[in-house]
Amino acid sequence: MDPVQNPFSPGAGTPPPELAGRGELLEEARIMIGRALNGRSTQGMLMTGLRGVGKTVILNELMRMAEEQGALSLFVEATAESTLSELLASELKKLFFSLNRIAGTADKVKKGLVVLRNFIGAVHLKVGDIGLDIEPFAGIADSGNIETDLADLFECVAEAAKEKKKAVLLLVDEVQYLPKKELGALIMAFHRLQQRQLPFAVIGAGLPMLAELAGKTKSYAERLFLYPQVDALTFEATRQAIETPFASCGVQVERRAVEKVYEQSKGYPYFIQEWGYQIWNRVERKRVGIDVIDEVRAKVVKRLDENFFHARLERLTAGEKDFLYGMSLCSGNIHVSDVAKALGSNVASLSKRRASLLAKGMIYSPRYGELAFTVPMFGQFMRRSRK
Ligand SMILES: Nc1ncnc2c1ncn2[C@@H]1O[C@H](COP(=O)(O)OP(=O)(O)OP(=O)(O)O)[C@@H](O)[C@H]1O
Ligand SMILES: [Mg+2]
């Protein structure tokens, strides 16, 4: 069929033509946002899942839902390069300006802008970069301690939103990259908002180690947030993700073909999109049979290697890549000792690589002492690429 019209969308955060299997999670989040809008206390949400399961897509969908319900949203993506304060400052400026445009008294909004100015000075951001031409006013959010300053700032944001009968939804992607201090500050700030029942909800997403990281940073984080897991799709959801876009063009996908896609993709959303994309380009008739699956398999694997897997290796050293290759040779629950054995080296010499791969988010520890890839099916890729 016409590639120009191809609705499938393998990519990062790109909305799929059919957002399958996430109904319950979206409903839970909708209630959370609704409660925040009504000034009722609500837990936050920290979603966790492997690479390519659709976390960013869900955050984007929640942002859309929140705005539809009348809330204002802030979206930041944590990276190893920038601080949370930097990411938040310019977004918050925009938020205060939006609040300012809403009719009615704006005392809290004006106060909020001054507090933002204080915060920017206190965390040593360049005011010029944010473009906020206001004099600081000593006293709030200017201690230089991010934990208390961020809590002060968020409180002012929430009060300004309340003044305008609005709620704020803060969405944070890749939360596992936040340094401990910033993650702690975020949790503490949310804790304060929750105690004061202010209209401010926080939803984050990150790799599976996030739940443990949050708990270690602040023990009360366990009660403050829900931790839904974003997993691979079930067979039924995979069927929906593949069938629906074809059905809207009058093309039927045979059950055996769906079963094959499920078997190959294991229900991982990114892989499903790549399969759908290649099938669409290949199919000529009004029916997708098992023959088409066989015809596109090589192309799908090639595209996944080039676009999904290879990109993950770019920031790694040769030693780190070896470690991952060693892991790919192990089966079952993987321990460092297994990796050492597979590579013919010793555990002590691998500990630095293990630590840096954990920090880079390439691997995580599903249980004490065990290791796993954060990228689904990465082991097969490593073995394929070293043949
Ligand atoms: N529920 C779904 N049904 C079908 N396809 C989906 C679904 N969710 C996400 N996708 C597709 O999966 C791909 C990956 O989505 P997304 O980038 O949101 O994943 P992610 O979990 O944020 O990955 P990463 O950890 O690498 O950032 C996208 O191509 C998206 O269109
Ligand atoms: Mg993402």
Taking alpha carbons only, the member of 234, 226, 284 closest to residue 259 is 234
Residue with CA nearest ligand 1 atom 18: 54
Same domain, 250 and 328: no
- The rounded Å distance from CA 174 to ligand 2 centre is 7
Same domain, 297 and 324: no
Cβ-proximal residues to 183 (8 Å cutoff; 6+ apart), any chain: 175, 213, 214, 217
- Alpha carbon distance 105, 272 (integer Å): 50
Residue 361 maps to a domain: yes
294 class by beta-carbon count within 10 Å (0-12 exposed, 13-18 middle, 19+ buried): exposed
pLDDT for 127: 59
Q: Which ligand 1 atom minimizes the distance to the CA of 268? A: 12
At 44-71, the pLDDT tens digits run: 999 999 999 999 999 999 999 999 988 9
What pLDDT band is residue 183 in, cutting at 50, 70 and 90? very high
Structure tokens at 373: 């890839």
| Domain that residue 282 falls in | 234-312
Q: Does any ligand 1 atom lie closer than 6 A to the CB of residue 260?
A: no
Name the β-bridge partners of 252.
287
Total tally of structural domains belonging to the chain: 3
Q: Does any ligand 1 atom lie closer than 6 A to the CB of residue 312?
A: no
Residue with CA nearest ligand 1 atom 14: 52
pLDDT of residue 330 exceeding 80: yes
What pLDDT band is residue 366 in, cutting at 50, 70 and 90? very high
Cα-flanking dihedrals φ and ψ of residue 362, to 5°? -85, -30
Residue with CA nearest ligand 1 atom 9: 54
At 346-360, the pLDDT tens digits run: 999 999 999 999 999
Choose one of 226, 246, 279: the last residue of a domain.
226
Residue 13 maps to a domain: no
Same domain, 186 and 245: no
Same domain, 255 and 132: no
At 247-296, the pLDDT tens digits run: 999 999 999 999 999 999 999 999 999 999 999 999 998 999 999 999 99
Q: Does any ligand 1 atom lie closer than 6 A to the CB of residue 20?
A: yes
What pLDDT band is residue 83 in, cutting at 50, 70 and 90? confident
pLDDT of residue 39 exceeding 90: no
Residue 369 maps to a domain: yes
Residue in 51, 258, 273 to alter for ligand 1 test, most ligand atoms within 8 A of Cβ: 273
CA distances from 121 to 83, 88, 109, 145 (A): 14, 14, 19, 12
Same domain, 269 and 304: yes
Choose one of 285, 312, 339: the last residue of a domain.
312
pLDDT of residue 128 exceeding 70: no
Same domain, 118 and 132: yes
- The rounded Å distance from CA 14 to ligand 2 centre is 9
- The rounded Å distance from CA 307 to ligand 2 centre is 15
265: domain CATH number is 1.10.8.60
Name the β-bridge partners of 332.
none
Q: Does any ligand 1 atom lie closer than 6 A to the CB of residue 361?
A: no
DSSP conformational letter for 175 = G
pLDDT for 106: 83
Taking alpha carbons only, the member of 232, 231, 312, 219 closest to residue 48 is 231
Q: Does any ligand 1 atom lie closer than 6 A to the CB of residue 49?
A: yes
pLDDT for 239: 98
Q: Does any ligand 1 atom lie closer than 6 A to the CB of residue 54?
A: yes
Same domain, 139 and 252: no
pLDDT of residue 120 exceeding 90: no
pLDDT for 36: 84
Q: Which ligand approaches the C-alpha of residue 22 most closely?
A: 1
Residue 16 maps to a domain: no
Q: Does any ligand 1 atom lie closer than 6 A to the CB of residue 228?
A: no
pLDDT for 129: 66
Same domain, 69 and 203: yes
334: domain CATH number is 1.10.10.10
DSSP conformational letter for 308 = I
Average pLDDT on 96-103 reads 91
54: domain CATH number is 3.40.50.300
Instruction: Round the average pLDDT of the chain to a whole number and report it.
Output: 93
Residue 113 maps to a domain: yes
Q: Do 244 and 18 contact (CB within 8 A), yes or no? A: yes
Question: What's the length of the chain?
Answer: 387
Residue 331 maps to a domain: yes
Same domain, 37 and 102: yes
Q: Does any ligand 1 atom lie closer than 6 A to the CB of residue 17?
A: no
Residue 10 maps to a domain: no
Q: Does any ligand 1 atom lie closer than 6 A to the CB of residue 241?
A: yes
Q: Does any ligand 1 atom lie closer than 6 A to the CB of residue 13?
A: yes
Residue 295 maps to a domain: yes
pLDDT of residue 131 exceeding 70: no
Distance of CA 28 to the CA centre of its chain: 17
Q: Which ligand approaches the C-alpha of residue 276 most closely?
A: 1
Q: Does any ligand 1 atom lie closer than 6 A to the CB of residue 11?
A: yes
Same domain, 115 and 177: yes
Same domain, 95 and 137: yes
Provide the 3-class DSSP secondary structure of residue 335.
strand
Same domain, 291 and 163: no
Taking alpha carbons only, the member of 213, 202, 263 closest to residue 238 is 263
- The rounded Å distance from CA 206 to ligand 1 centre is 13
Choose one of 312, 327, 348: the last residue of a domain.
312
**Higher pLDDT among residues 206 and 144, named by residue:** 206
